[in-house]
Structure 1
Amino acid sequence: MTESAPAPSAPAGPQLSTRDARKIATAAFVGTALEWYDYYIFGTAAALVFNRLFFTELNPNAAVLATFATFGVGFLARPLGAILFGFIGDRYGRRPALIASVVLIGIATGLIGLLPDYTQIHIWAPILLVALRLVQGVAVGGEWSGAMTMAVEHAPVHQRGRFAALVQLGSPVATLVSSGAFALVLLLPPSDFDAWGWRLPFLFAFPLLLVAVAIRVKLEESPVFRGLVATDKRVRTPAFEVFRRAPGRLGVAVLASLLGIGGFYTYNTFVVNYGAQILGVERGVMVNATLIAALGQIVVTLVSGRLAERFGAGRVTAWGGLLTAATAFPVFWLIDTKDPLLITVGVTVGLGSVILAYGVSGALLTELFPAELRYSGVGLGYNIAAATSGFMPLLASTLLFASGNQSWGPALLLVVVALLTALGGVLGQRLRVVDEVPAAALTEREDAR
């Protein structure tokens, strides 16, 4: 990593309030959970229903691949969202970028629930599905990075790990709500589920949008961003400056983020389809396994944040990568037994090891970039990784079919990605940037109250 970066400055921890940090991080967590809900229900629907209702002209294996390809295109759009919302967040403020991103994804998700299927509008059904998935991707491309930047920049430096982890709780909570929503509609008769039941979790995005906007408009602007305005340190084209000034840091951010995204969707999306379609396990068993695993995710996320404060986010990322690599094959062996209890244990262990790395990714990525590039740098690193590892359900399915439906192919893919993230954690541990909050920004914040 040879590019220049600002030298670390004195920590600003004593100047920032833990109470205020907790309030902002909690609000960021709630908004992020609502937005991740919108995004995750697409993954569950992709595993359970889209292959049958939107790609009905294809043979079963081709329909699965087409469905996961549609799922993956949302990840391709995420770097575009990182550039767009990163520009807004680094130039005009973290707060307006967060409000815009949640409005965009809420509308796109609700519209998916209104889409006619293939039997009604033929080829236009999958085309519109892909288009709305792209919109979801653009919105999420600016969501996570903005929420994480906002939470971290309000927190004392020595407590950033715990508040970054608090925002990360949005992921397992969204998993619980989205999987729970589908678990409920799966209680319907299969004909009703296919006709209208699967739409209900998507339509629920409309009232959730109102809640998310109400939360976001109450957020205070980041004191670090106020400092950038006060000292005139904002840059005109932050995404360009990330590539020019910090390409090595961006590469580390991508490596460190691969597992948290790809591993999550392997266990939460691919495995649901693998169990239901290939192993013949009841769909409800697979969805319930992800629900129980999400409870474990909450515990691991909170623990990872405290570990990051003690040992460093980079080291914890590396530990999560190594643990995931070590457990990948045993987890799939448990799933292959078709036993509901062992499947649940396997998915819980697998997701827990992934979340050990994911839980600290916010703390790691925000420390890789200086404040004037942070929203764009975090967003680009995280979402370039998403554009790659978001296709892991598709790659895993391809390897599965190529190996005669043997699980060693997907397990091996997971090992490779986990080791890359472990490498990112080792490198990221050496590249920390600590920003200073100018007193003028804190005074302005107090005056605003």
Structure 2
Amino acid sequence: MSNPTGSSPGAAAASPTAHAPAHVSGQDARRVAFAAFVGTALEWYDYFLFGTAAALVFSELYFSTLNPAAGTLAAFATFGVGFVARPVGAVLFGAVGDRIGRRPALLITVVMIGVATGLIGLLPDYAAIGVAAPTLLVLLRLAQGVAVGGEWGGAVTLAVEHAPPDQRGRYAALPQLGSPVGTLMSSGAFALVLLLPDQTFDSWGWRLPFLAAFPLLVIAFYIRRRVEESPVFDELLKEDDRAKVPAGEVFRYAWARLLVAIAAAFLGVGGFYVLTTFAISYGVDTLGLSRSLMVNATLVAAVVEMVVIVLFGRIADRLGPGRVTCWGGLASAVLALPVFVLLATRSPVAVVLAISVGIAALSVAYAVTGALLAELFPARYRYSGVALAYNVAGALSGFLPFIATAMTTAIGDDPWVPATLLIAVSLVTAVGGIVGERMRVRDEVVVD
């Protein structure tokens, strides 16, 4: 019978503290964390492109037989499909990462999402091939989701397992920088192609950011090939103490930890898409703001997010990632309504400020998500546990832009409508953070 923490006597015996100490060094930690960051930045660039395109062009090109509101809902539903696929990727690549190695899993994921994204840039629209166009779009989005489902958990696990134990917060924050950098790259790419005439952008200009995934993939793959395997996983190999069915052990022995981890990750994923994907559509379609203004607001917010991630990654080393997660959740809940009130003013300065403040608040929790989740699961099934938690949170929150759009359509476009949704997500993460702080486990490591 499992204990209140969701682990069992067998799981406790398999804790990392039962293994020989793993040797880590600051130099290795920096190199691996940088490689994890580069790969993760590409993954999020590819993934975020879809969200921006869903808000700007997919409804017209792939769902053109629907009225504008229904087309937007269909585009966001397709966007959400990628999130549903992410837990599948977490199970598949979690098994690879916990059984074969963290490094092989990460090489596969970066290739898979790069190819899927590039192919979206080559996909004919509905006018050219009919119903096959949205069908293929959904399939490529599914491929993106499966790849991302294995990417983030592996990148964070590798970075944490190479890091000195008292500096895990700052090194786990480096893969988190992949999110704002990916946002900056994807929004920047769209900001550039939006300079083209509207007809040119709608016909082929929007494809250029997707096609850029091919050369970026070559760079990311080269860097990631040079990453060494995790020293903690090497110890598991030596002692032959790998989980036989990693996801099964997570559900059997660490179900409570999984629930806490999902809650802790919820805001960093779901809140982000409310304030980017939904906010772009809300600003353009409901408030009548320009597409360029909304995309540029996300660019400014991404720069702010980078500063917040670096700062609070370091703070987590002193105060604990769970406490920082709780603060981020509470701050986001307090600021949710003011953010959407500022958006409703339609003032360009207020719009940029609103998106930046909202993203900054949720980034407090997001900065330390990797550090907290990695310390909620023992090494033998850590990759699977981290990946499952993060991507189940993603699956639950991937339809938030759809839900927010449906709410504003049914209830009205008053700021309190989407703000209520963001407040609920924020409070879930605040609770997950404070509970998760009490459930952390540590590997036994020796710093060279």
Give the structure 2 partner of residue 340 of structure 1. Answer: 348
Task: Choose which of 55, 62, 84 in structure 1 pairs with 2:63.
Answer: 55
Matches of residues 20-419 of structure 1 in structure 2 within 5 Å? 20-419=28-427
1:47-69 Cα distance to aligned partner (Å, 9 max, x none)? 11101111111111111110100
Query: 1:110 is aligned with what amino acid?
Result: G
Query: 1:383 is aligned with what amino acid?
Result: N
- The residue matched to 2:438 in structure 1 has which SS? coil
**Percentage of identical aligned residues:** 61
Find the aligned partners of 1:292 and 1:13 in 2 and give their Cα distance. Answer: 43
Give 1:124 deviation, angstroms: 1.1
Contact persistence 1:44–1:269 (CA under 8 A): yes
Query: 1:235 is aligned with what amino acid?
Result: A
Which contiguous aligned blocks of 4+ residues in structure 1 show a shift greater than 3 angstroms? 7-15
- The residue matched to 1:433 in structure 2 has which SS? coil
Query: 2:6 is aligned with what amino acid?
Result: E
Query: 2:224 is aligned with what amino acid?
Result: R
Give 5+ residue unaligned stretches, structure 2.
none
Give the structure 1 partner of residue 5 of structure 2. Answer: 2
Give 1:19 deviation, angstroms: 1.4
Q: How many corresponding residue pairs?
A: 440
Contact persistence 2:22–2:231 (CA under 8 A): no
Contact persistence 1:31–1:216 (CA under 8 A): yes
Find the aligned partners of 1:154 and 1:113 in 2 and give their Cα distance. Answer: 36
Cα distance change on mapping 1:306 and 1:343 into 2, 3 Å: same
Contact persistence 1:13–1:157 (CA under 8 A): no
Contact persistence 2:19–2:236 (CA under 8 A): no
Find the aligned partners of 2:5 and 2:321 in 1 and give their Cα distance. Answer: 21
Query: 2:344 is aligned with what amino acid?
Result: D
Contact persistence 2:5–2:257 (CA under 8 A): no
Cα distance change on mapping 1:228 and 1:70 into 2, 3 Å: same
- The residue matched to 2:122 in structure 1 has which SS? coil
- The residue matched to 1:338 in structure 2 has which SS? coil
Find the aligned partners of 1:187 and 1:42 in 2 and give their Cα distance. Answer: 19
- The residue matched to 1:380 in structure 2 has which SS? helix
Contact persistence 1:223–1:437 (CA under 8 A): no
Cα distance change on mapping 1:288 and 1:235 into 2, 3 Å: same
Aligned-pair Cα RMSD in Å: 1.6
1:302-350 Cα distance to aligned partner (Å, 9 max, x none)? 1110111111100000000000000000000000001110000000000
Contact persistence 1:367–1:433 (CA under 8 A): yes
Give 1:236 deviation, angstroms: 1.0
Cα distance change on mapping 1:342 and 1:10 into 2, 3 Å: farther
Contact persistence 2:86–2:394 (CA under 8 A): yes
Cα distance change on mapping 1:412 and 1:143 into 2, 3 Å: same
Cα distance change on mapping 1:11 and 1:19 into 2, 3 Å: farther
Contact persistence 1:12–1:435 (CA under 8 A): no
Give 1:15 deviation, angstroms: 4.2
Query: 1:20 is aligned with what amino acid?
Result: D
Contact persistence 1:279–1:336 (CA under 8 A): yes
Give the structure 2 partner of residue 445 of structure 1. Answer: none
Give 1:407 deviation, angstroms: 2.6
Find the aligned partners of 1:166 and 1:193 in 2 and give their Cα distance. Answer: 34
Q: TM-score, normalised by structure 2?
A: 0.96
Cα distance change on mapping 1:302 and 1:152 into 2, 3 Å: same
- Structure 1 stretch 108-117 or stretch 402-411: which is displaced more? 402-411
- The residue matched to 1:309 in structure 2 has which SS? helix
Find the aligned partners of 1:190 and 1:235 in 2 and give their Cα distance. Answer: 54
Find the aligned partners of 1:373 and 1:102 in 2 and give their Cα distance. Answer: 21
Give 5+ residue unaligned stretches, structure 1.
443-449
Cα distance change on mapping 1:382 and 1:187 into 2, 3 Å: same
Give 1:14 deviation, angstroms: 9.8
- The residue matched to 1:21 in structure 2 has which SS? helix
Find the aligned partners of 1:310 and 1:16 in 2 and give their Cα distance. Answer: 20
